[in-house]
């Protein structure tokens, strides 16, 4: 078989990794850079990659938990961080959400739970974290997530946002919908961890007692 000039053999799908590169002398001269290309220099990879998984987690769902499991396999340490947001009226306090999260991450030794005020990137820096982990469920999440990721990158270029998809079985779940369905008497079994479901039942009866 005749090979093109400068190539020694033809690549097939099977031996793709052995695709031969043209000999230096045979490279297209018009592709040689006139000025060496430069991109923004970023800090090198740290020896231990620490990631922050931030959110409201009011309450944690099985979609969040699925992402925590996936993240725990990718990063040396994963810190699930609850935003302390005074302006929101959460169903569960930050302390209750911390307890719920701690209960469900016990199986993952490299996962910790924390909370934060202020800028997420400052919280990441305080933990020497270089990754922000966020879940993307549908294309509708993308616009807001992109804005946040680019703003966070502008604030701290060394912190990378990584988007992950949870198992498709959980891709429609949100804390807001779980609370709405539960409040209206629908079943949320399988959408949140069993301990969270039990807490929702307790919270509902507390609210009903208060309201009575």
Annotated active-site positions, please?
64, 88, 137, 175
Q: Between residues 63 and 182, which has the closer beta carbon with respect to ligand PNS?
A: 63
Q: Residue 187 and residue 197: Cα distance in Å, rounded? A: 10
CB of 162 within 8 A of CB of 131? yes
H-type helices in 50-107, by residue range?
62-74, 94-104
Q: Which is nearer to ligand PNS, 64 or 199 (CB)?
A: 64
Q: CB of 134 within 8 A of CB of 144?
A: no
CB neighbourhood size of 30 (10 A)? 5
Contact residues toward ligand PNS (CB under 6 A) are: 54-56, 83, 119-120, 148, 151-152
């Amino acid at each position: 078989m005749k090979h093109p000039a400068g190539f020694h053999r033809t690549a097939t799908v099977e031996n793709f990794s052995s695709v031969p590169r043209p000999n230096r002398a045979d490279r297209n001269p018009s592709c040689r850079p006139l000025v060496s290309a430069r991109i923004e220099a970023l800090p090198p990879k740290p020896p231990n990659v620490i990631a922050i998984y931030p959110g409201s987690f009011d309450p944690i769902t099985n979609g969040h938990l699925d992402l925590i499991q996936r993240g725990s396999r990718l990063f040396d340490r994963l810190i699930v961080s609850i935003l302390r947001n005074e302006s929101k009226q959460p169903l569960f306090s930050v302390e209750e959400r911390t307890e719920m999260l701690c209960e469900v991450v016990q199986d993952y030794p490299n996962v910790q739970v924390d909370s934060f005020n202020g800028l997420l990137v400052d919280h990441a820096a305080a933990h020497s974290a270089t990754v922000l982990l966020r879940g993307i469920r549908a294309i509708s999440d993308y616009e807001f997530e992109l804005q946040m990721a680019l703003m966070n990158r502008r604030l701290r270029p060394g912190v990378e946002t990584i988007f992950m998809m949870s198992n498709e079985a959980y891709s429609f779940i949100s804390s807001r919908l779980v609370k709405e369905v539960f409040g209206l008497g629908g079943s949320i079994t399988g959408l949140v961890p069993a301990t969270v479901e039990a807490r929702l039942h307790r919270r509902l009866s507390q609210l009903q007692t208060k309201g009575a």
